[in-house]
Structure 1
């Protein structure tokens, strides 16, 4: 655990030099030489990346940069071609998704994965780990698991109320709106009592009012000590709640830093607009100059 310095971990990032692969004061997730290829395509090649404990880190980059693939690898939903990573000081390289989740590293998906034919409450209870009633012999003896089940249901109701889904607890998950399913997936992730959340585009397809609600929930989770790393394309969201931003392009980590420095970073501008992004303006100026010269020539001829 982090040493008690009297300074929140997120605040300790302000003293760090913003550069790719920079060391953090109290990293929770550490990646080294992580690579993932698909045929001849290098989807991810991250030399070194650390995620600060107790902070909100945004992972951004243009489409195809490798952000979701990196999430898939470290969360156990995909296998890396090389590299290593650790979580809370323990090696996690190559661990399957269920073991990763048991360690406290839990993720959500851009496309929500609710079980449509189960109720909202049943979706929540399904996520709770270590349920005695799921094992064959204890399941036959109700006193062994009934008390635990009541406790889990109480916790599920608390989370549903927190995300304003309490009145929908007995509705089928398939009847929820897209935004409500996002909330359910976040609430369900919390049923596992995670140490860190990986959120893949949590605001995608969510209306502005619900976006503000989600932002409030995420910052509150950070304030309660949870570590959050999220992929997002909305720069207003990134600048609004992030303590730190990591930028990927073509599978590589090209920049890191506080939100206010990222928009001015040349590597970030190049990643989004291309290294020769100023050519159209230069060409336009040249054409304008040619036109003026031609116009002047025509006036002389007249």
Structure 2
């Protein structure tokens, strides 16, 4: 079994850490899908979560965001324990996620998809129904913010079209823009580049970096190692449900455990021969 992260890597409460998980386990019958001894995502950084298919990355996402419940463990967002907190309340707390398979409301327009993600809408509350001036003002503000985000993600021209008419790459952009409508402090992206054509891939990369520049913490699952090298500040590697290594992109891709479990010997040799030099810009800002 892969070695666990040394206990020295684990410490007490750290204000620099926005998401912390300890001893989180999820089993399906006799199969252990997740057995994470320790995970810490630092505030204001881009953290990549990598590993082979079946390593437990998406399952861990589901556990941390309230879409599934673990069999054991504890985890906290910004110091607030999340055990038993449902997914919608996790999002309200400021930790928002996207999915590997995009989820849009196909029959609603792109703009309507954006507006429903805005937090604290008075129009959704029965007691506020008679006070139309208050909730209509909020709707106008939400619409203006949605249009600004759609413009930022180059989707403003699609705002009145059904979301189901968007291409796969455009749906990825919509999901990311919609996540920002919730005013998150942390965004979790599950394979944001899956199924995206090269023309949109660079655009998505830029948007992820801009999230960090705006002070939003990012945790993303990805298989594209070029992307991981280009934008990540920190990389966590999973295999067989466990975290087996972490560090900069260059450090983990030279770790023998990572090469053996995920990257393969040829990748490790090529990286040593042709990889970026220290300070050359990979794995950091």
TM-score scaled to structure 1, two decimals?
A: 0.83
- Is 1:20–1:256's contact at 8 Å kept on the other side of the alignment? no
Q: Any stretches of 5+ residues in structure 2 without a counterpart?
A: 267-285
- Is 1:35–1:80's contact at 8 Å kept on the other side of the alignment? yes
Specify the structure having the higher radius of gyration (Cα): 1
Q: CA deviation at 1:23?
A: 4.5
| C-alpha RMSD of matched pairs (Å) | 1.5
Match of 1:31 in 2: 21
Cα distance in 1 between the residues matched to 2:85 and 2:156: 35
Q: CA deviation at 1:180?
A: 0.3
Equivalenced residues, count: 258
1:53 aligns with 2:43: yes
Q: Please point out which of 52, 68, 77 is paired with 2:67.
A: 77
1:156 aligns with 2:151: no
Ranges of 4+ aligned residues in structure 1 off by more than 4 Å: none
Q: Please point out which of 157, 173, 184 is paired with 1:194.
A: 184
Counterparts of 1:245-260 in structure 2, within 5 Å, are 245-260=235-250
Cα distance in 2 between the residues matched to 1:273 and 1:119: 41
Cα distance in 2 between the residues matched to 1:141 and 1:94: 34
Match of 2:161 in 1: 171
Cα distance in 2 between the residues matched to 1:120 and 1:160: 9
SS at match of 1:84: strand
The Cα offsets for residues 181-226 of structure 1, whole Å up to 9 and x where unpaired, read as: 0000000000000000000000000011100000001001101100
Q: CA deviation at 1:94?
A: 2.1
Match of 2:196 in 1: 206
Q: Please point out which of 198, 203, 207 is paired with 1:217.
A: 207
SS at match of 2:145: helix
TM-aligned CA distance change 1:43 to 1:148, over 3 Å: same
- Is 2:123–2:135's contact at 8 Å kept on the other side of the alignment? yes
- Is 1:32–1:83's contact at 8 Å kept on the other side of the alignment? yes
Q: Please point out which of 117, 130, 137 is paired with 2:127.
A: 137
- Is 1:183–1:214's contact at 8 Å kept on the other side of the alignment? yes
Cα distance in 2 between the residues matched to 1:97 and 1:20: 31
Match of 1:91 in 2: 81
1:233 aligns with 2:187: no
Deviating more after overlay: 265-274 vs 239-248: 265-274
TM-score scaled to structure 2, two decimals?
A: 0.88
SS at match of 1:109: coil
- Is 1:20–1:254's contact at 8 Å kept on the other side of the alignment? no
Q: Any stretches of 5+ residues in structure 1 without a counterpart?
A: 1-18, 279-302
- Is 1:35–1:82's contact at 8 Å kept on the other side of the alignment? yes
Q: CA deviation at 1:20?
A: 6.1
